[in-house]
């Protein structure tokens, strides 16, 4: 019997992907305290994330709504933490040893293959952000982190599509940062 790929939404941008004995979390989040000054309290409760041995994680970028340091450190104790190569040094500085990947570089995590692809946030900052393509059991999932529309979508679709499931930001910019403003018509 072929194992089934299962996907479950977690809090905020978090996603859990399972295939057989392989459990992968992308941008898991428990600690919302750093977000309160920028976005206020969450609209829904944020549940604790179960992290049994062998849980692995991928990080799209190091903003506190996608990177929960304490949770990632807990996962790193028994699993791997994947990141885009430019983010690796910052993780090393805080005691996390990541598996760094360049854009387009594939890696196996148990029964899954993970590949970082281009991402671009609302400020035009793409140097440290990625979307993740996850493949397994004949299925493809893309988790886009904070990306907005950019010119690399066509290449991502040609290289890695079609996708069975796509997790994309849909709410638009709701935060206010000094020196940045969302374009509001």
Domain chopping of the chain, boundaries:
5-167
Cα 165 to Cα 13, 22, 55, 157, 184: the distances in Å are 14, 18, 21, 13, 29
Name which of 74, 79, 71 is nearest 55 in CA terms: 79
Q: Between 3.20.20.80, 3.40.109.10, 3.60.15.10, 3.30.230.70, what CATH number should domain 5-167 receive? A: 3.60.15.10
CA distance 137 to 96: 30
pLDDT on residue 170 = 59
Query: Quick one: which of 93, 95, 105 has its CA closest to 130?
Result: 105
pLDDT at position 171, please? 54
User: Looking at residue 92, what is its pLDDT?
Assistant: 97
Handedness of CA 87, 88, 89, 95 (dihedral sign): positive
pLDDT number for residue 100: 97
- CA-nearest of 34, 39, 11 to 175 is 39
Block means of pLDDT (10 residues each) for the chain, 185 residues, are 88 91 94 75 73 93 88 95 96 97 97 93 70 96 83 89 88 58 50
């Amino acid at each position: 019997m072929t194992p089934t790929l299962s996907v479950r939404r977690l809090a905020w941008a978090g996603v859990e992907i399972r295939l057989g004995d392989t459990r992968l979390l992308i941008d898991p989040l428990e600690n919302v305290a750093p977000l309160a000054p920028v976005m206020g309290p969450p609209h829904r409760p944020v549940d604790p994330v179960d992290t049994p041995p062998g849980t692995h994680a991928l990080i799209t970028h190091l903003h506190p709504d996608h990177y929960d340091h304490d949770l990632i450190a807990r996962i790193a104790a028994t699993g791997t933490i994947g990141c885009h190569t430019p983010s690796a040094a910052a993780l090393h500085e805080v005691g996390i040893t990541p598996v760094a990947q360049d854009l387009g570089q594939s890696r196996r995590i148990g029964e899954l293959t993970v590949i970082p692809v281009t991402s671009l946030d609302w400020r035009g900052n793409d140097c440290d952000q990625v979307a993740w393509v996850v493949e397994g059991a004949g299925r493809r999932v893309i988790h886009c982190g904070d990306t907005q529309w950019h010119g690399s979508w066509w290449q991502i679709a040609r290289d890695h599509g079609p996708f069975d499931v796509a997790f994309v930001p849909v709410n638009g910019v709701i935060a206010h940062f000094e020196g940045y403003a969302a374009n509001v018509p």
